[in-house]
Amino acid sequence: MLFNYDYEINLEKLFKIAKLEYYKILDYGCGKGIWSNDHVEKDSKVQNIILYDNNADLINFLRKKYKNKKFEINFNLEEITNTKEYNIVIFSSVIQYISHEELKRTINKFNSNKKKITIIFTDVPFLPRLVEFVMMPLFNLKRFLFSLKLLFSQNYKNIKYSTYQKSFFDLFQNEFEISYSKNLHDLKYLRYTVVLSSK
C-alpha cells in the first residue's frame, strides 16, 4: 500500500465548515480511513459513511478496521453514484492524484442528479511540488519525512500529480456556492480546503 499517513479527521471542524443538519458521507479516495470508529459511532449527526477508493488492495484492511454498521465499504463507483444516498462527498488529500479534466467530469457527475450536495476538497496543494516540498519541513516535519519516503518509492514516480489554484473552482460557480477555509488536514498554510455547496 503506497499511502499510509496516519491522519484522523476532526468531526467538529468538519461540521463547522460543512454546516449540515446530518451527514451521509461519501469518502472519495478513502485510503486507509480517516475516521475514528468511536467518534462516528457516538455522533448522531453522522448517519453513514461510504468508503470508496480506486485501489482494491485496501478492501480487506478497511473491512477489518471499520466493522460498525454506519460504514459501508463500496468500491463500485457506478453503483454508488446511481443508487446510494449521500449529501456530502469528501475528497481528503485526493485531488492531487486526479487530473483537472477528470475532476471536472467527476464534479459534473455528482451535480447531474439535481440533488443538493456539498463537496469538500481538503489538503489541496497549490504550490509547485518542489517549492512545497522545500517549505514543508518548516511547517510539518512528520509530513515532510513521509513525503520524502514516498518520493523514493518506485510506484510514486508513475503517479500523476496536479496542483489546484483556487481560481480553478470558479468553473463551478453557476451550480455551487464556493468557500475556502484552512486546511482540515495537518499541513497548515501550504494547502487549503474548498467547499462547494449546491445552490
Ligand X SMILES: C[S@@+](CC[C@H](N)C(=O)[O-])C[C@H]1O[C@@H](n2cnc3c(N)ncnc32)[C@H](O)[C@@H]1O
Q: Compute CA distances 71 → 30, 64, 106, 120, 191, whole Å.
A: 12, 11, 23, 19, 28
- At 197 the three-state DSSP class reads strand
- Which residue lies nearer to ligand X by CB, 116 or 160? 160
C-alpha cell at 54: 480506486
Under 8 Å between Cβ of 181 and 17 = yes
Binding span for ligand X by CB under 6 A among 62-70, 78-86, 87-95, 169-177? 87-95
Among 14, 26, 31, 147, binds ligand X (CB under 6 A): 31
Among 66, 71, 86, 92, binds ligand X (CB under 6 A): 92
Among 54, 60, 165, 173, binds ligand X (CB under 6 A): 54
Region 97-116 residues binding ligand X, contact defined as CB under 6 A: 97-98
Judged by CB under 6 A, does residue 132 bind ligand X?
Answer: no
Judged by CB under 6 A, does residue 94 bind ligand X?
Answer: yes
Q: Which residues pair with 51 in a beta bridge?
A: 27, 73
- Which residue lies nearer to ligand X by CB, 77 or 116? 77
Q: How far is CA 187 from the centre of its chain?
A: 14
